[in-house]
C-alpha cells in the first residue's frame, strides 16, 4: 500500500473515532468568571507610562485580586489595577502597580525578552476564544518588553521566540510603578468578523522579592488543566479596522570574513560581501497571513549558548532565530514529535508561507529552496548529520481542526527533494480529553526516503528507506499529582529530514508520576514534592536497549530557591554489551540578593565511555551566575566541567566557559561582549582505536569572541555592527591560534502600511 493510501486510511479511522467521542463537554465555568464590555474610544495615547490622557478614566477596569503562585487563589498581597480600551487600530493597556516599598522594585534596562528577573506586568489574551492558545505581553517598570506565544492544549506551554511590533513604556513612582502598552491589531490574529468578538483575558503581575509571587485578575482552580478557560472575558472589538496589514522589511548585510587555510599560516583576506534581503508580511485577513522572503539573513548576530559536546553520541539542538521562519511557526507544531525544525533549511534563497485560522480550522503551507542540504541520520544509540552537495526544494503543509471543547486532530506533510534524493513524511496527530484532568495524545507518521550513493556509503543504509513512527501518551493531572503512561515505536528506516528526530529503531514504554505539596509565600518552603518514572526501550528485533528507573525530589522557597535532586539507574546496551549506569543528579538555583542569580547542576556516578565501549566514573558540573551590576550593566558566566575515569586512569577532562558582558545605554542601544572557551585534555593511551589516524588529539582547545553593538527600535527595525574571531589548538600547534575573523554590519527596517 502506498504512503498516501496508508495515511488516508489512518486519518479516516482516527478522525471518525474522535468525532464520535468528542461530544463530552469539559469546559470549566468558574463562579467568578466575568464578562467585561471593552471601551471603544478613538483617542490615541502617548505611550510614556504616565496615564495622563482622559481616555483612561472611562477605560474598562479590572483588578488583580488573586495570588496565582505560590498561594492558591489567596488575596493578592499588593494592589494592581489594569485598564483596557481600543481605538479601532490598537489595543491599549495600562497598569497601576502599587508597592508599599517602591525602593525594592527590581527593574533594569533590558534587551527584548530578557526581563524575567524584574518586576513586571502582563496581559495574556486568547483572541480566538477557543481556549487553546494565546499571546502574552510583558513590560517591566522601565518599559522593557517581552512577548510570548502560549499553548494551553495540554497545560501552559510557552514559546518566547515569537516577536511582535508594539509600544510600551514604564515609570517608577512614589507609590509603585505605571506601565502603558499599545498593541496594534496588525500584530495579532483573531477572527475576521463584523460582529462583536469575545477575548479571554487575564491581567498578570510578577512580584519578585524573597519569593516570586504571581498575581492575576482571575482565580485559578489547580484541579483543572485548562487555564484559558478560567480567564475573564472582554466583549467588543466591533469597531476594529482590518486595514491592509502589510509589512515590508528590507535587510542589508555587509561582511568580510578572513581565514587561514593552513594553521599555522598566513591570513587569506576575504572579499566584502553585500547581501540584500527582503521579508514581506501581508495580512490577507485578520486571521490569514502570507509571508515571503528573498535571501533571508542568517548572520549569527549573537553566538549560541555553549554546549559541551564530549562523550556524546547524539547531535546538539540549536533554536531557530530568523523572522521569516518564526512568524506563525506554531501553526506547524504537532503533538508528540518535532517533525518541523526550520533551522534545517540552512541557506534558502526564497521562501513563501501561508498560515491562518478560520473558525475551528488552522493551517499552514510553506515552500522554500535550500543551497545547503543537511539533515539528521537517526539511530538507536546515536545520530549524525548528513550533508549533500546538492540544492534541494522544501514543502511543508499542516492542517488542524479543533473538535469539541478541547480536542483537536491534525495532519502534517513534509517533503524535501534534490536531483538524487528525497524525503517525504506524512503524519496524523491529535489530543483527546476524557475529562477535565485526563487526556490522550497520539501521533502516527510514515516516511519514504531515497538516498544518494554518498549517504548510502557513509551511513550504511539502503537506497530506499520506508518507516513508521507511533507515539501515544496518557496523562492524568490534578492539583496534587500527575500520572502518565506512554508508548513509542519508531522503525529503523524512519526519517524526518525536516525535523529534529534523532532516534530510530526503538520501541519504548514509560510509566511515571508526580506528587506536589504547597506552602504559603511566607513559609520556608513554598512548594515541594517528588516524581519518578520507569521506562524500557527495545530495538525492532526485540533486544532490550535500555531499562531505566529514576526518582527525584524538588523544593522551592525563600530567596527564590529551587532544587531538583534524584537518582537514576539504568542498564543500557552499547556496542553489543550491557552496562549498568547509576548517577546522582542535582540542580540548585537561588537569588541570595536581589540583583544576583547563582546556580549549579551536577551529576556523578557511572557512565559509558562511548569512544571505547567501557564503563567509567563520571563527574559533570555546570555552574552559572547572572549579576545586574546596575540598571545598565549585566554580566553572566556559565561554566561546564566534566571528567571520566576508566580502569586505567582518567580518560578526559573538559572545561568550557561562556562569559557575556553587556552595557545597555538605553532600552534600544546596547554593547555586548561574548567570550567562549573550551579545553579538552585526553589520555590518548587509554583509547582503543587501532588506526592511529582515528585517535583524538591529546589536547583540544577552542575559543571564540564577539563584540556587537546593536540599536533596536523593534524586532524588525534594527542596526548591528560586530566583530568576531575564533581559533583552536591541537597536538600540532604550540598555542591557541586564530583561524577565522570577521566584521559585519546589518541594517533592517520594517515599513508597516
- The DSSP result for 495-516, as a single string, is --TTS---B-SEEEEEEEEEEE
Q: In this structure, what C-alpha cell is assigned to residue 561?
A: 530557591
Q: How confident is the model at residue 240 (pLDDT cuts 50, 70, 90)?
A: confident
Give CATH 2.60.40.1190 domain extents, the chain.
32-236
SS3 438: strand
**231: phi then psi, degrees, rounded to nearest 5:** -70, 155
Contact partners, residue 363, CB within 8 Å, separation at least 6: 331, 354, 355, 356, 357, 398, 399, 400
Which residue reads 533594569 in cell numbers? 108
Supply the pLDDT for residue 153: 84
Q: Given pLDDT bands bounded at 50, 70 and 90, which one contains residue 298?
A: low
This prediction's pTM:
0.88
pLDDT the model gives residue 243:
58
Euclidean distance between CA atoms 417 and 391, whole angstroms? 8
- Please tell me whether residue 262 adopts helix, strand or coil conformation: coil
The CA angle 181-185-186, to the nearest 5 degrees, is 115
- Does the pLDDT at position 647 exceed 50? yes
Query: Given strand 167-172, what is the order of strands in its sheet?
Result: 60-63, 80-86, 90-98, 176-184, 167-172
Percent of the residues in the chain that have a pLDDT greater than 70, as a whole number:
94
Q: How many helices (H) and strands (E) does the chain have?
A: 3, 41
* Residue 458 grid coordinates: 557513509
Average confidence (pLDDT) over 685-710: 89
pLDDT in tens, 162-195: 899 999 999 999 999 999 999 999 899 898 887 8
Q: What is the pLDDT of residues 445-477, one digit of tens each?
A: 999 999 999 999 999 999 999 999 999 999 999
Task: Work out the pLDDT band at 242, boundaries 50, 70, 90.
Answer: low
Peptide bond connecting 264 to the previous residue in cis, omega within 30 degrees of 0: yes
- The predicted-structure confidence for 100-149, as pLDDT tens digits, reads as follows 999 999 999 999 999 999 999 999 999 999 999 999 999 999 999 999 99
- Which residue in this structure is represented by grid cell 555546570? 622
Of 749 and 312, more confident: 749
Contacts of 36 (CB under 8 A, 6+ apart): 60, 62, 84, 232, 233, 234, 235
In a 10 Å sphere around its CB, with 0-12 CB exposed, 13-18 middle and 19+ buried, how is residue 577 labelled?
A: exposed
Distance, in Å, from the CA atom of 162 to the CA atom of 143, rounded to the nearest integer, reads: 19
Report yes or no: 326 and 394 within 8 Å, Cβ to Cβ: no
* pLDDT of 22: 38
Report the pLDDT value the prediction gives residue 286, as an integer from 0 to 100.
83
Per-residue confidence at 304, pLDDT binned at 50, 70, 90? low
- When pLDDT is cut at 50, 70 and 90, the band that residue 310 belongs to is confident
Average pLDDT of the segment spanning 442-446? 98
Confidence category of residue 306, pLDDT binned at 50, 70, 90: low
**Average pLDDT in the 661-682 region?**
96
Give residue 753's pLDDT band: very low, low, confident or very high (50, 70, 90).
Answer: confident
Q: Is 155's pLDDT higher than 90?
A: no
pLDDT above 60 (res 529): yes
3-state SS, residue 97: strand
CATH classification number, 32-236, choose in 2.60.40.1190, 3.40.50.460, 2.20.25.90, 2.60.40.10: 2.60.40.1190
How far is C-alpha 380 from the geometric centre of its chain's CA atoms? Answer: 25
Cβ burial of 652 (10 Å; 0-12, 13-18, 19+) is buried
Per DSSP bridges, beta strands 633-646 and 614-628 are antiparallel
Would you mind telling me the total number of residues written for the chain in this entry? 753
Alpha-carbon span 337 to 490, nearest angstrom? 11
Half-sphere exposure of 44 (CA within 13 A, CB side): 4
Residues 105 and 595: their CA atoms lie apart, in Å, by 11
Residues contacting residue 726 through CB under 8 Å, at least 6 positions apart: 702, 703, 704, 705, 738, 739, 740, 741
Q: Is the pLDDT of residue 503 over 80?
A: yes
Q: Rounded CA gap, 123 and 417, in Å? A: 43
**pLDDT of the residue at 311:** 76
Using H for helix, E for strand and C for coil, what is the string for 47-64? CCCCCCCHHHHHCEEEEC
- Cell numbers for 548: 531505566
CA atoms within 13 A on the CB side of 577: 11
Q: What is the mean pLDDT of residues 156-160?
A: 87
pLDDT band at 386 (very low <50, low <70, confident <90, very high): very high
Confidence of residue 321 (pLDDT cuts 50, 70, 90): confident
Instruction: Tell me what pLDDT residue 14 has.
Output: 42
Query: Pairing mode, if any, of strands 288-294 and 246-259?
Result: unpaired
Mean pLDDT of 509-537: 96
Residue 338 has pLDDT above 90, yes or no: yes
Residues 6+ apart with CB under 8 A from 249: 278, 279, 280, 281, 323, 716, 748, 749, 750, 751
d(CA 634, CA 193): 46
For residues 320 and 514, what is the distance between their CA atoms, to the nearest angstrom?
A: 32
Q: Closest Cα partner for 162 from 358, 450, 355?
A: 355
Q: Identify any residues that bridge with 547 across adjacent strands, giving them in sequence order.
A: 536, 571
331 in helix, strand or coil?
Answer: helix
Q: Which among 201, 195, 206, 137 is positioned nearest to 166, based on CA atoms?
A: 137
Angle at 119 between CA 118 and CA 125, to 5 degrees: 110
Q: How far apart are CA 720 and CA 208, in angstroms?
A: 33
Q: Is the CA virtual torsion 118, 230, 202, 221 positive or negative?
A: negative
Q: Is the pLDDT of residue 266 over 70?
A: yes
User: In sequence order, what are the beta bridge partners of 485?
Assistant: 474, 511
Of the listed ranges 43-47, 357-361, 673-677, the least confidently predicted one is 357-361
Q: Residue 12 pLDDT > 50, yes or no? A: no
701 within 8 A of 678, measured Cβ to Cβ: yes
Q: Is residue 45 a contact partner of residue 169, using CB atoms and an 8 Å limit?
A: no
User: DSSP string spanning 539-573?
Assistant: -TTS-EEEEEEEEEEEEEEGGGEEEEEEEEEEEEE
Report cis status (omega within 30 of 0) of the bond before 70: yes
Asked if 82 and 65 touch (Cβ cutoff 8 Å), the reply is no
Percent of the chain at pLDDT > 90 equals 80
CA-based nearest residue to 319, from 297, 284, 344: 344
pLDDT digits (tens, 9 = 90+) for 552-603: 999 999 999 999 999 999 999 999 999 999 999 999 999 999 999 999 999 9
Residue 572: phi and psi, rounded to 5, are -135, 135
| HEC letters along 360-407 | CEEEEEEEEEECCEEEEECECCCCEEEEECCCEEEEEEEEEEEECCCE
pLDDT of residue 19: 41
* DSSP, res 299: -
- Give me the sign of the Cα torsion angle 494, 500, 505, 511: negative
H or E element, residue 138: strand 133-139
- DSSP class of residue 305? P
Q: Residue 258 above 80 pLDDT? A: yes
Residues 716-734: pLDDT tens digits? 899 999 999 999 999 999 9
Helix (H) or strand (E) holding 326: helix 323-326
Q: How confident is the model over 430-458, as a mean pLDDT?
A: 95
Cell matching residue 194: 463584523
Amino acid at each position: 500500500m502506498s504512503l498516501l493510501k496508508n495515511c488516508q486510511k489512518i486519518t479516516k479511522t482516527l478522525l471518525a473515532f474522535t468525532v464520535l467521542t468528542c461530544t463530552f463537554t469539559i469546559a470549566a465555568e468558574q463562579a467568578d468568571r466575568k464578562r467585561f464590555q471593552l471601551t471603544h474610544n478613538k483617542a490615541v495615547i502617548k505611550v510614556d507610562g504616565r496615564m495622563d490622557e482622559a481616555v483612561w478614566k472611562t477605560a474598562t477596569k479590572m483588578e488583580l485580586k488573586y495570588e496565582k503562585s505560590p498561594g492558591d487563589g489567596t488575596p493578592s498581597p499588593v494592589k494592581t489595577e489594569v485598564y483596557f480600551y481600543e481605538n479601532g487600530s490598537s489595543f491599549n493597556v495600562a497598569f497601576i502597580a502599587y508597592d508599599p516599598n517602591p525602593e525594592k522594585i527590581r527593574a533594569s534596562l533590558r534587551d527584548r525578552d530578557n526581563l524575567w528577573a524584574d518586576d513586571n506586568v502582563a496581559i495574556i489574551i486568547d483572541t480566538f476564544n477557543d481556549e487553546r492558545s494565546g499571546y502574552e505581553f510583558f513590560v517591566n517598570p522601565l518599559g522593557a518588553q517581552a512577548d510570548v506565544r502560549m499553548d494551553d492544549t495540554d497545560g501552559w506551554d510557552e514559546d518566547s521566540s515569537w516577536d511582535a511590533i508594539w509600544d510600551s513604556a514604564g515609570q517608577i513612582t512614589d507609590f509603585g510603578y505605571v506601565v502603558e502598552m499599545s498593541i496594534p491589531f496588525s500584530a495579532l490574529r483573531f477572527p475576521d468578523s463584523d460582529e462583536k468578538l469575545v477575548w479571554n483575558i487575564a491581567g498578570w503581575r510578577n512580584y519578585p522579592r524573597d519569593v516570586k509571587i504571581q498575581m492575576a485578575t482571575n482565580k485559578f482552580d489547580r484541579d483543572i488543566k485548562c487555564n484559558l478557560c478560567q480567564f475573564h472575558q472582554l466583549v467588543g472589538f466591533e469597531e476594529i479596522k482590518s486595514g491592509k496589514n502589510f509589512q515590508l522589511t528590507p535587510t542589508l548585510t555587509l561582511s568580510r570574513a578572513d581565514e587561514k587555510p593552513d594553521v599555522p599560516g598566513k591570513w587569506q583576506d576575504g572579499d566584502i560581501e553585500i547581501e540584500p534581503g527582503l521579508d514581506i508580511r501581508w495580512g490577507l485577513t485578520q486571521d490569514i497571513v502570507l509571508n515571503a522572503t528573498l535571501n533571508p539573513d542568517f548572520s549569527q548576530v549573537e553566538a549560541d549558548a555553549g554546549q559541551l559536546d564530549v562523550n556524546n553520541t547524539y547531535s546538539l539542538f540549536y533554536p531557530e532565530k530568523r523572522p521569516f521562519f518564526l512568524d506563525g511557526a506554531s501553526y506547524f507544531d504537532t503533538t508528540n514529535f518535532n517533525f518541523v525544525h526550520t533551522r534545517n533549511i540552512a541557506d534558502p534563497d526564497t521562501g513563501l508561507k501561508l498560515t491562518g485560522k478560520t473558525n475551528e480550522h488552522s493551517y499552514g503551507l510553506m515552500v522554500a529552496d535550500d543551497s545547503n542540504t543537511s539533515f539528521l541520520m537517526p539511530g538507536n544509540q546515536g545520530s549524525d548529520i548528513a550533508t549533500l552537495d546538492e540544492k534541494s526544494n522544501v514543502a511543508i503543509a499542516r492542517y488542524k481542526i479543533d473538535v469539541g471543547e478541547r480536542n483537536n486532530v491534525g495532519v502534517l506533510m513534509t517533503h524535501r527533494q534534490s536531483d538524487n534524493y528525497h524525503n517525504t513524511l506524512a503524519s496524523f496527530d491529535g489530543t483527546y480529553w476524557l475529562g477535565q484532568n485526563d487526556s490522550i495524545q497520539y501521533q502516527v507518521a510514515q516516511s519514504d526516503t531515497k538516498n544518494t550513493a554518498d549517504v548510502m556509503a557513509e551511513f550504511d543504509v539502503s537506497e530506499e528507506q520506508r518507516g513508521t513512527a507511533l507515539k501515544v501518551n496518557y496523562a492524568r493531572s490534578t492539583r496534587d499529582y500527575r500520572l502518565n503512561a506512554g508508548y513509542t515505536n519508531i522503525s529503523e528506516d524512519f526519517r524526518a529530514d525536516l525535523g529534529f528526530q534523532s532516534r530510530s529503531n526503538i520501541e519504548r514504554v514509560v510509566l511515571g508520576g508526580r506528587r506536589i505539596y504547597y506552602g504559603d509565600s511566607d513559609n520556608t518552603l513554598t512548594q515541594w514534592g517528588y516524581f519518578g518514572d520507569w521506562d524500557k526501550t527495545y530495538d525492532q528485533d526485540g533486544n532490550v536497549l535500555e531499562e531505566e528507573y529514576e526518582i527525584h525530589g524538588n523544593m522551592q522557597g525563600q530567596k527564590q530557591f529551587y532544587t531538583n535532586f534524584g537518582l537514576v539507574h539504568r542498564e543500557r546496551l552499547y556496542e553489543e554489551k550491557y552496562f549498568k549506569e547509576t548517577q546522582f543528579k542535582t540542580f540548585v538555583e537561588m537569588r541570595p540578593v536581589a540583583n544576583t542569580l547563582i546556580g549549579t547542576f551536577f551529576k556523578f556516578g557511572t557512565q559509558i565511555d562511548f569512544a571505547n565501549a567501557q564503563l567509567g566514573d563520571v563527574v559533570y558540573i555546570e555552574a552559572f551566575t547572572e549579576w545586574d551590576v546596575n540598571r545598565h550593566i549585566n554580566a553572566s558566566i556559565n561554566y561546564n566541567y566534566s571528567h571520566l575515569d576508566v580502569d586505567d586512569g582518567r580518560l578526559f577532562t573538559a572545561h568550557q566557559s561562556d562569559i557575556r558582558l553587556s552595557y545597555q545605554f538605553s532600552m534600544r542601544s546596547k554593547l555586548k561582549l561574548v567570550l567562549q572557551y573550551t579545553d579538552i585534555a585526553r589520555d590518548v593511551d587509554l583509547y582503543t582505536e587501532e588506526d592511529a589516524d582515528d585517535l583524538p588529539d591529546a589536547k583540544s582547545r577552542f575559543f571564540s569572541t564577539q563584540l556587537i553593538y546593536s540599536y533596536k527600535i523593534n524586532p524588525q527595525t534594527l542596526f548591528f555592527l560586530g566583530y568576531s574571531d575564533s581559533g583552536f589548538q591541537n597536538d600540532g600547534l604550540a598555542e591557541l591560534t586564530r583561524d577565522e575573523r570577521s566584521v559585519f554590519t546589518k541594517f533592517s527596517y520594517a515599513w508597516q502600511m
